[in-house]
Amino acid sequence: MEAARPSRTALRVAMRRAAHQLYDAEPLVLNDPFAVPILGREYLPEIERTQFKRNKPHSVSLRAHMVVRSRYAEDLLAQAVARGVTQYVLLGAGLDTFAHRNPYPQLHVFEVDHPATQQWKRDLLVANNIAVPASLTYVPVDFEHQQLAAQLAAAGFDTTRPAFFAGLGVVPYLTSAAFRSTLSLIAASPEGSGVVMDYGQPRSALPFLEQLAHDSLSARVQLAGEPFQLFFTPSEMAAELSDFRDPEDLGAPQLNQRYLASRKDNLKLMGSAGRIVSAWV
């Protein structure tokens, strides 16, 4: 991504989480009282302007993917915390608001993000009167040009204690080198640590109609200055995670079944492109 500009894709994701709060039926998949306020007067009108798009199947599916991946991450985090994890590292945090909803008194949250995106988020929090909790530490890092381990250590992250890591909506934007060095850091964490991320399948692995949807999304993120550059098939991802135990790699059918089965609205994931994976150290 461009060095000096906050992530546009982070804004698009946050708008979809906010649209979920505003327009989808109860019970929400991701109940996030900060999702709307964080956008404030600057960005909320954009959601209202694009409201007409919200029921288009492709848009519904993207929104479903984004709220389900956050919910899945937070469900696994709850399991990790129950087993004694006290550190949560959000890689490429964007406008994620978990730190502001953190229900675990013993859990410290480290938000890692590209410096320009992180500063933009912090400005938005100030502008919209959202307090920064004492249990949150910001760690500005460009994964392509800085050492994540050194920046985390400088921010007070304790490498001798287990941690749960989430990379939501981040993997496709990384180079293979940055992805692998991040995964090695997680694999070297103490037993009990875990990771959750979502990833996309390569175009060549998709059926024809999904290739068209892939092309359209790729063109949009390219225009936003954040081109996709990293894809995996499930077997390639399994190989990347070979140092971890208990991997769980879920596609649309399993995620729909787990989180969206008995909804009154049409919120559901479609296609085979997007997948969510978790694994443990």
What are the structure tokens assigned to 261, written together? 């089965």
CB of 139 to ligand SAM, least distance (A): 10
Q: Is 96 in the site for ligand SAM (CB under 6 A)?
A: yes
**Residue 108, H or E segment:** strand 108-113
Is residue 95 part of the contact set for ligand SAM (CB under 6 A)? Answer: yes
Helices (H), 224-268: 234-240, 252-259
Q: Using the rule CB under 6 A, give the single segment among 92-100, 185-193, 203-211, 231-239 that binds ligand SAM.
A: 92-100
| Minimum CB distance to ligand SAM smaller for 74 or for 96 | 96
CB 65, min distance to ligand SAM, A: 10
Restricting to residues 109-168, which ones interact with ligand SAM according to CB under 6 A?
113-114, 117, 141-144, 168
Widest Cα–Cα separation across the chain:
50
Q: How far is the CB of 13 from ligand SAM (least distance, A)?
A: 4
Q: Helix axis angle, 252-259 relative to 57-82, nearest 10°?
A: 70
| 65, 168 Cβ separation under 8 angstroms | no
Residues 15, 18, 170, 267: which binds ligand SAM (CB under 6 A)? 170
DSSP 280: E
User: Residue 138 half-sphere exposure, CB side, CA atoms within 13 Å?
Assistant: 20
- According to the binding rule CB under 6 A, does residue 200 interact with ligand SAM? no
- What is residue 74's DSSP assignment? H
110, amino acid identity: F
In the region spanning residues 242 to 281, those forming contacts with ligand SAM, defined by CB under 6 A, are none
Distance CA 134, CA 156 (A): 13
Closest approach of ligand SAM to the CB of residue 201, in Å: 17
Least Cβ distance, residue 208 to ligand SAM (angstroms): 26
CB 89 within 8 A of CB 165: yes
Q: Does 93 bind ligand SAM (CB under 6 A)?
A: yes
Q: Single out the residue of 162, 169, 194, 274 in contact with ligand SAM (rule: CB under 6 A).
A: 169
Binding to ligand SAM by residue 19, rule CB under 6 A?
Answer: no
Shortest distance, position 110 Cβ to ligand SAM, whole Å: 13
Other beta carbons within 10 angstroms of residue 46's beta carbon come to: 13
**What is each CA distance from 126 to 123, 172, 187, in whole angstroms?**
5, 30, 36
SS3 for 121-140, per residue?
HHHHHHHCCCCCCCCEEEEE
For residues 123 and 246, which CB has a smaller minimum distance to ligand SAM in the complex?
A: 123
How many CB atoms sit inside 10 A of residue 130's CB? 16
Shortest distance, CB of residue 44 to ligand SAM, whole angstroms? 16
Question: Based on CB atoms, which residue is closest to ligand SAM, 10 or 196?
Answer: 10
Q: How many residues bind ligand SAM (CB under 6 A)?
A: 22
Binding site for ligand SAM (CB under 6 A): 1, 7, 9-10, 13-14, 92-96, 113-114, 117, 141-144, 168-170, 173
